[in-house]
Structure formats: structure tokens, C-alpha cells
Amino acid sequence: MLETLKVTLDANTNLTPEVKENLMELINIFATNEAFKGVNLNNLNERLKTLNIKRESKFLVRMPARYNAFTNEILLNEEMFKNSDAKHWLMHTLLGVITGKDNRYGFTTTDNKMIALCEGYTEILTNYLVGDVDNNYFTDEIIMTNLISKVIGEDTLFEAYFNNDSEKVLKAMIDAEGK
């Protein structure tokens, strides 16, 4: 699958060769990690065909980078991105690309009611894959996500995140309330 992803990424005319190389390095980190061996990467392959990276206003993107699943764009706050750990932020956004579906990613709902939980979980995975950063924008979300994972189980969050299944998380929370 890695070779297929590389061919798809190479065919994307929206990205520079340097960006393609950096993304492929991160894809390799993800795809070769034993913890993620069962994750289906067909969606990533489809999204890589049209993925774009765009500079955005610092008033619209208040962190170094953010993934917009609806437009399939990685949005950069260029000023903040230059002074950040680019590998960390690109991995964070790449997880959005891997799980992107329609106008959402991970287990966010269409009305973004689970965005804090999703961002916390995305950041936990990012930290696991490429390490933590000094200036973490998601400290509260990470704490909340860790607490929720203790209640409903890490496996539930993992499965829901990579299958875009917010209902699984909500059902697990309701079930845990009755215990």
C-alpha cells in the first residue's frame, strides 16, 4: 500500500516535491507502526489525489496548521508554522487526512459537537507517532480524552476514530453511565 500511496502523492500537482517528500515520510511513520497496521488507508489514497496546502489568515487559523476535511486542505498560519515543530503539525493534520470523510474527520459529528474529543485524540496519536511539542494547544483536550478513554476504553476510541463513528463513542459513554 505504501507504494500506491507514493504514486498517488507523486501525481498530485497541487504539492511541491519537498512537501510530497515530507508527507511521504509521515505516511511511512504511520503505516509502518504496528499499532496502526489494521487501519485502512484507501481513504488516504483518495484524499491524497486532491490534497492541497494553503496559507491562511492568522485570524482564521489560530494554530500553526489545521486540516479542513470539507475542502481537503491543510491550512497553514505561516507565521506560527515557521516557529513550530513542522513534523508534529503535519502529522496532526495528516491524521485528519487519513480519517477525513465528507466535511469531518475522526469521530467528529457533522455539527462538530465532538471536536474537542477528536482534537484531543488526534493530538495523543500525534504525540505517540512523532513526539510532543513544548507549546501544545490541546492540553485540556488531551486530559479530557484520557479521562474518557479510561471510562469507555482506548479500543473504543481507536475504532471510532479510524471508522468515523461518533455514535460508537456516544453509545459507550451512555453504557458506561449505567455501570
Beta strands in 70-109 (DSSP E): 73-76
Mean pLDDT of the chain: 88
Q: Could you give the CA distance from residue 54 to residue 6 in angstroms, rounded to a whole number? A: 21
Query: pLDDT, tens digit, for every residue of 3-59?
Result: 999 999 999 999 999 999 999 999 999 999 999 999 999 999 999 999 998 887 777
Query: pLDDT, tens digit, for every residue of 51-103?
Result: 998 887 777 777 888 888 889 988 888 777 777 788 888 999 999 999 988 77
pLDDT of residue 82: 79
Q: Is the pLDDT of residue 110 over 80?
A: no
pLDDT of residue 147: 92
pLDDT of residue 169: 86
Beta strands in 63-126 (DSSP E): 65-68, 73-76
pLDDT of residue 122: 93
pLDDT of residue 179: 64
User: 165: burial class by Cβ within 10 Å (0-12, 13-18, 19+)?
Assistant: middle
pLDDT of residue 44: 94
